[in-house]
């Protein structure tokens, strides 16, 4: 059997393993190296907080993009409508709790552990890979327990980078009981319910943390601060409307992802200005017909993997430097149930969002924090908080932080950081490029570490589609005679 090693067992690794076991006709012995007890969970789906939900409906989160009903059928067998009636929006679409989605991913991998249709198998080894070498067309993986394992193909599915730690937190003693630098892993337990809480950032993680505090009975004020005051946008209007009888069958995710590119994005030489001007024009035209901006934005975002590579490097850098926050708040939308919790608290005066520059935070011996805010005309203000939660987002500019293996591979020239500052270089089929710019046919990278190449392989839909699209090249690279 051809031996496949997948390094990382979050969504990316789980989706690749399941799709390869299903679709590659020859038998594969797939091993996923993941220290966590459950495959598919990663950081995002390891939470046990029932308030945290997916930010898109179940039809877009199947582990195999070509089988969008797989997750929906799982929900039916698990009787989700009985166990989590709050998951359903007005139009009937389900926005799963993250903990339930983690169970789905783990169940899906177990379902394919011995796949009779192809003879492939999936094995989970709860070990970290600490070294990787290639010789004579094969890979040798060094494991943290001192053992080694050979593989014919290696996939780096290491997921998102670590959360960004703002410099303003440097003055606070590490381990402060009321500071959460990585709230997804540290949780909210221990934060006094009557404390005034400062949330650094205003994205989806901030929304989750605010809703999580409220749902667990927090009574103190919560202030979310970000530089531009940008917040994730709501779902499109149909999510909040009662379902109507559909005259046509639903559009499949693959049909949308492989759909036409907007006319304004078809130029051979693109600029950020061209894309922004064309998008704004399409939004005005759509809104003139009574529809929302979502359709025009999605027409661009859903095919971004075919547009982003055409942007010159300087233009990619310009987008990342100037427009990324605005793109993200329209791209990553709120789960309607979570949004409703926070909006009610805002109307009651408990939650406030602000656009402000956070200059410094100091911790006091009494356990409180003093935050210094910069304002226009040189004025500054100080406020006291009882807890601080860091939701500043992921550090996309430092993909190797916290992962010594990736750092070692970069040092040896086996993988190359993307010159736009995000992730690593690959060819269109996700083969890693070496120091000479040549693709390695036995080393692939998928998911968030390829965001610099493809623009947006960050959500489940896009990662699953990435695996699906690169399947033909993956099969071509398998050893002959396997």
Same structural domain, 375 and 409: no
Closest by CA position to 13, among listed 28, 27, 34, 29: 34
Same structural domain, 122 and 212: no
3-class secondary structure, 223: strand
Tell whether 25 is covered by a domain.
yes
Same structural domain, 9 and 76: yes
Confidence class for position 482, pLDDT limits 50, 70, 90: very low
Return the percentage of the chain with pLDDT > 70, whole number: 96
What's the mean pLDDT when you consider all of the chain?
91
- Flag the least confident range among 242-256, 271-285, 306-320: 242-256
Rounded to 10 deg, the angle between the 69-77 and 98-111 helix axes is 100
> Please, are residues 275 and 266 in contact by the beta-carbon 8 Å criterion?
no
pLDDT in tens, 359-400: 999 887 678 999 999 865 566 788 999 999 999 887 666 677
Rounded to 10 deg, the angle between the 460-469 and 11-23 helix axes is 40
Residues 6+ apart with CB under 8 A from 54: 61, 95, 96, 97, 98, 101, 335
Tell whether 301 is covered by a domain.
yes
| Per-residue pLDDT at 37 exceeds 70 | yes
> Tokens at residue 347, please?
């109307």
Tell whether 482 is covered by a domain.
no
> Please, are residues 206 and 198 in contact by the beta-carbon 8 Å criterion?
no
Closest by CA position to 459, among listed 119, 187, 57, 124: 57
Domain boundary among 283, 314, 331: 331
> Please, are residues 339 and 207 in contact by the beta-carbon 8 Å criterion?
yes
Task: Give the span between the Cα atoms of 36 and 165, in whole angstroms.
Answer: 24
How many structural domains is the chain composed of? 3
| Per-residue pLDDT at 229 exceeds 50 | yes
| pLDDT value, residue 250 | 65
Q: Among the residues of 79-203, which ranges form H helices?
A: 80-83, 98-111, 183-186
Give me the mean pLDDT over the 215-244 stretch. 91
Same structural domain, 121 and 30: yes
| pLDDT value, residue 185 | 84
Identify the residue with better confidence: 251 or 270.
270
Give the length of the chain. Answer: 482
- Flag the least confident range among 8-12, 263-267, 277-281: 263-267
pLDDT in tens, 153-207: 999 999 888 788 888 988 887 778 899 998 888 889 999 999 999 999 999 999 9
Residues spanned by the domain of 373: 167-232+334-390
Q: How far is CA 277 from CA 274, 281, 282, 310, 320, in A?
A: 5, 6, 9, 17, 17
Tell whether 59 is covered by a domain.
yes
Tell whether 248 is covered by a domain.
no
| pLDDT value, residue 397 | 64
Same structural domain, 94 and 23: yes
- Flag the least confident range among 83-97, 287-301, 385-399, 468-482: 385-399
Structural Rg of the chain based on CA atoms: 23
Domain boundary among 331, 352, 380: 331
pLDDT in tens, 96-125: 999 999 999 999 999 999 999 999 999 999
Tell whether 326 is covered by a domain.
yes
Same structural domain, 114 and 41: yes
> Please, are residues 139 and 152 in contact by the beta-carbon 8 Å criterion?
yes
- Flag the least confident range among 116-125, 132-141, 279-288: 132-141
What is this structure's pTM? 0.93
Give me the mean pLDDT over the 446-458 stretch. 91
Identify the residue with better confidence: 221 or 186.
221
| Per-residue pLDDT at 129 exceeds 80 | yes
pLDDT in tens, 396-423: 666 777 789 999 999 999 999 999 999 9
Same structural domain, 286 and 412: no
Same structural domain, 318 and 353: no
Same structural domain, 105 and 23: yes
Residues 6+ apart with CB under 8 A from 272: 311, 315, 318, 319, 322, 323
Residue 88: how many other CB atoms lie within 10 Å: 17
Residue 18: how many other CB atoms lie within 10 Å: 29
- Flag the least confident range among 69-73, 92-96, 275-279, 364-368: 364-368
The angle at the Cα of 396, spanning 98 to 424, to the nearest 5 degrees, equals 110
> In what order do the strands lie in the sheet containing 369-374?
357-363, 369-374, 380-385
How many H-runs (helices) and E-runs (strands) does the chain carry? Answer: 17, 18
> Please, are residues 221 and 199 in contact by the beta-carbon 8 Å criterion?
no
Give the H/E segment covering residue 150.
strand 148-151
> Please, are residues 207 and 342 in contact by the beta-carbon 8 Å criterion?
yes
| Per-residue pLDDT at 454 exceeds 80 | yes
Tell whether 124 is covered by a domain.
yes
> Please, are residues 329 and 203 in contact by the beta-carbon 8 Å criterion?
yes
Q: What is the CATH number of the domain that holds 347?
A: 3.50.50.60
3-class secondary structure, 415: coil
| pLDDT value, residue 267 | 78
| Per-residue pLDDT at 249 exceeds 80 | no
| pLDDT value, residue 396 | 66
> Tokens at residue 4, please?
């496949």
Domain boundary among 290, 312, 331: 331
The angle at the Cα of 420, spanning 416 to 421, to the nearest 5 degrees, equals 70
Task: Give the span between the Cα atoms of 311 and 13, in whole angstroms.
Answer: 28
The angle at the Cα of 384, spanning 378 to 387, to the nearest 5 degrees, equals 125
Q: How far is CA 36 from CA 40, 192, 210, 346, in A?
A: 9, 30, 27, 37
Same structural domain, 188 and 89: no
Tell whether 251 is covered by a domain.
no
> Tokens at residue 413, please?
């020239």
Same structural domain, 361 and 402: no
Same structural domain, 128 and 117: yes
Closest by CA position to 471, among listed 446, 448, 434, 439: 446
| Per-residue pLDDT at 248 exceeds 60 | no
Residues 6+ apart with CB under 8 A from 355: 225, 226, 227, 228, 229
């Amino acid at each position: 059997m051809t031996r496949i090693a997948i390094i990382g067992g979050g969504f990316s690794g789980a989706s690749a393993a399941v799709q390869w076991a299903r679709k590659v006709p020859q038998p594969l012995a797939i091993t996923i190296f993941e220290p966590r007890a459950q495959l598919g969970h990663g950081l995002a789906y390891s939470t046990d907080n029932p308030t945290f939900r997916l930010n898109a409906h179940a039809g877009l989160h199947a582990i195999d993009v070509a089988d969008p009903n797989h997750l929906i059928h799982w929900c039916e067998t698990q009787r989700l409508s009985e166990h989590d009636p709050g998951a359903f929006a007005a139009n009937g679409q389900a926005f799963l709790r993250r903990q339930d989605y983690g169970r789905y991913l783990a169940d899906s991998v177990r379902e394919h552990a011995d796949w009779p249709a192809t003879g492939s198998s999936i094995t989970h080894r709860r070990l970290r890979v600490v070294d990787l070498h290639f010789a004579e067309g094969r890979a040798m993986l060094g494991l943290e327990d001192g053992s080694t394992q050979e593989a014919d193909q290696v996939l780096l599915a290491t997921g998102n980078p670590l959360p960004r730690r703002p410099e303003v937190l440097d003055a606070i003693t590490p381990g402060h009981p009321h500071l959460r630098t990585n709230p997804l892993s540290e949780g909210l337990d221990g934060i006094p319910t009557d404390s005034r809480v400062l949330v650094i950032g205003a994205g989806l993680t901030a929304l989750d943390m605010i809703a999580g505090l409220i749902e667990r009975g927090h009574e103190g004020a919560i202030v979310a601060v970000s530089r531009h005051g940008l917040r994730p946008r709501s779902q499109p209007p149909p999510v909040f409307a009662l379902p109507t009888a559909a005259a046509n069958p639903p559009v499949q995710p693959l049909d949308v992802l492989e759909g036409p590119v907007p006319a304004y994005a078809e130029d051979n030489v693109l600029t950020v200005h061209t894309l922004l001007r064309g998008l704004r024009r399409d939004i005005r035209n759509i809104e003139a017909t009574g529809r929302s901006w979502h359709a025009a934005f999605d027409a661009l975002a859903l095919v971004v993997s075919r547009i982003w590579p055409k942007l010159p490097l300087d233009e990619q850098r310009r987008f990342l430097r100037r427009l990324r926050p605005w793109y993200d708040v329209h791209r990553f939308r709120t789960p309607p149930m979570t949004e409703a919790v926070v909006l009610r608290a805002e109307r009651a005066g408990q939650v406030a969002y602000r656009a402000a520059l956070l200059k410094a935070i100091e911790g006091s011996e009494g356990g409180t924090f003093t935050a210094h805010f910069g304002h226009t005309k040189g004025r500054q203000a100080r406020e006291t908080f009882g807890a601080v939660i860091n939701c500043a987002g992921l550090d996309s500019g430092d993909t190797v932080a916290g992962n010594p293996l990736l750092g070692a591979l970069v040092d040896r020239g086996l993988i190359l950081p993307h010159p736009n500052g995000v992730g690593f270089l690959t060819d269109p089929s996700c083969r890693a490029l070496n120091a000479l710019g040549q693709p390695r046919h036995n080393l692939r990278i998928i998911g968030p570490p390829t965001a610099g190449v493809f623009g947006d392989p960050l959500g489940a839909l896009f990662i699953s589609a990435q695996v699906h699209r690169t399947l033909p090249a993956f099969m071509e690279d398998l050893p002959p005679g396997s």
